[in-house]
Chains A and B, each alone.
Chain A
Amino acid sequence: MKIFSHRFIFLFKKFLGLSIIILGFIAMLIPFVPGILLVFAGLYLFQKRDAFLS
C-alpha cells in the first residue's frame, strides 16, 4: 500500500533540500567550515532527478 504519493515525496525532497541549503549557509556565517557540506548535501537532494518528473 502506498502511503505517500510521488508528488508528496518529490515536494518533500525539494523542501528538505532547500532547508538544508539554508541551514548550511547559516552555519557558514558562524563561520563554520562544515557548513559547505550541508550546502552541497542540500543541493544534491534539491537537484535530484525524480521519477515524478520523467
Chain B
Amino acid sequence: MATVIEITILGAALYILIRAGGALVRTMTAMARFLRISEYALSFILMALATSLPELFIGISSAARNAPLLSLGNIIGSNVLNVTLVLGAGVIAAGSLTIGKDAVRGEMGKMFALTFVPAILLFDGELSRGDGALLLLLFVAYLVHLFYSNRVSPPVDGSAGEFGIGEFMRSFLFFFVNIFLVIGSSWFIVYEAERLAAGFGVPLFFIGLFVISFGTTLPELVFNIRSSMSGYGEMSLGNSLGSVIFNISGILGIVAIIQPVHVDDPLRAVSGLVITSILIFLIQLVLLLKGDISRGYGIGLIAISLLFLGIEAFL
C-alpha cells in the first residue's frame, strides 16, 4: 500500500515538473520580448541562475560548515552532466539544435577563457579568497557584457508594444511560481525515488550517485527538453552553458570567499574542470563549423555522460 502511495506521489510530482517546465519556456519568451534581449541571453542569465540555486545552497552551506570540497565536487559533477546529459537530451528531443554562427564566433574565446580560469587558479591546490574574488568579478563582467551585446531591435510591425510593464511583471511572477514548482517537484521526485530504491534494496552509494546527481540536474533537463521541443533550441544551449558558467565562476567564487578551498589531489579536480572547458569548446566548434548540433552528437554527449558516471562510480 505504501509503495502505491509513493508511486502516485512520484507520478504527480513528475506531471507538475513537466507542466511547470513548459510554462517556464512561455514566460521566458514573453520576458525576452519585453527586455529586448535574445532568448539565448535571457535563459543564460535568468534560467541558469534559477536552476543553479541547489548548487548555490550546497556551496554556501558546505563553505560555512568548513567543507568547501563538497561544493567543488558537486560543481564539477553537475557541470559535466550539464554539458553532456542535459544538453544531449535537449538535442535529441529537438532533432537538432541551431544557433547563429555569429553569436557563437563572438562568445567562443571568452567562454573558453572563463571556464579555463578556475582550472589555472586551482593548479597550485588552493583557491584563495583573492582567487574567489577574481572569479566573481569575471562572472559579473561576463553577465553585463552578455546582457548588452545581445540586445535585439524591436520588431518593425511593433508587436513588442503589446508587452507592457504589466505583462512583464505577470511573466516575472509566473517565472518564480514555476521555478518554485520545478525545484519543489524535483525534490519530491528525488525523495520518493530514494525511498523506493531503498525499499527495493538498492545500495546507498548508487542511490547517492545516480538519484541525487540526476535529481539536482532534473530542473535543467526538463527545461531543455521542453524548450527544444517548442522550437527554442537556443534557450536550451543558453541554460546549459549559463549553468556551467554560474557554477564554475559565480558559485565557486562565493565559496572561496567564504572559505578558501584546499585540494589534496589538484590533478583530479583540474581534470574535471578541463573536461568541461574542452566539452564547451568542442560543442561551440561544431556549431561554428556546421551551424547546428544534430541528433548523433546528442547521443554522443549522453554516452559521454554515462561513461563519466561509470568512471566516477567504479574508478
* A43-B84 Cα distance, complex, nearest whole Å: 14
A residues in contact with B286, CB < 8 Å: 40, 44
Interface size on B, residues (CB 8 A): 19
B311 adjacent to A31 (CB under 8 Å): yes
- In the complex, how many angstroms separate the beta carbon of A52 from the nearest chain B beta carbon? 17
- Tell me whether chain A's interface is mostly helix, strand or loop, or mixed: helix
Q: A31-B311, A31-B315 are in contact. Are A39 and B274 (CB under 8 A)?
A: no
Q: Does B282 interact with chain A (Cβ within 8 Å)?
A: yes
Bound CA span A39–B299, Å: 11
A53 at the interface (CB under 8 A from B): no
CA distance in complex: A29, B275 (Å):
13
Smallest Cβ distance from B28 to chain A, in angstroms?
A: 29
Question: How far is the CB of B308 from the nearest CB of chain A, in Å?
Answer: 8
Within 8 A of B (CB), among A6-50: 21, 25, 28-29, 31, 33, 36-37, 39-40, 43-44, 46-47
B169 interface hit (Cβ, 8 Å): no
Q: What's the Cα separation between A28 and B303 when bound, in Å?
A: 11
Known: A33-B278, A44-B286. Contact between A39 and B304, CB under 8 A?
A: yes
Residues of chain A within 8 A (CB-CB) of B229 are none
Q: Taking A46-B296, A47-B294, A47-B296 as contacts, is the C-beta distance between A28 and B278 under 8 angstroms?
A: no
Contact status A36-B279, CB under 8 Å:
yes
A residues near B147, Cβ cutoff 8 Å: none
Q: When each residue 292-309 of chain B gets 1 if its CB lies under 8 Å from chain A and 0 otherwise, what string results?
A: 001011001001100100
Which residue on B lies nearest to A36, using beta carbons?
B278
List A residues at the B interface (Cβ < 8 Å): 21, 25, 28-29, 31, 33, 36-37, 39-40, 43-44, 46-47
A-B contact pairs, 5 of them (CB 8 A): A25-B303, A36-B275, A39-B300, A40-B286, A47-B297
Given contacts A36-B275, A40-B300, A47-B290, 10 further A-B contacts (CB under 8 A): A25-B307, A28-B304, A29-B307, A31-B311, A33-B278, A36-B282, A39-B303, A39-B304, A40-B282, A40-B285
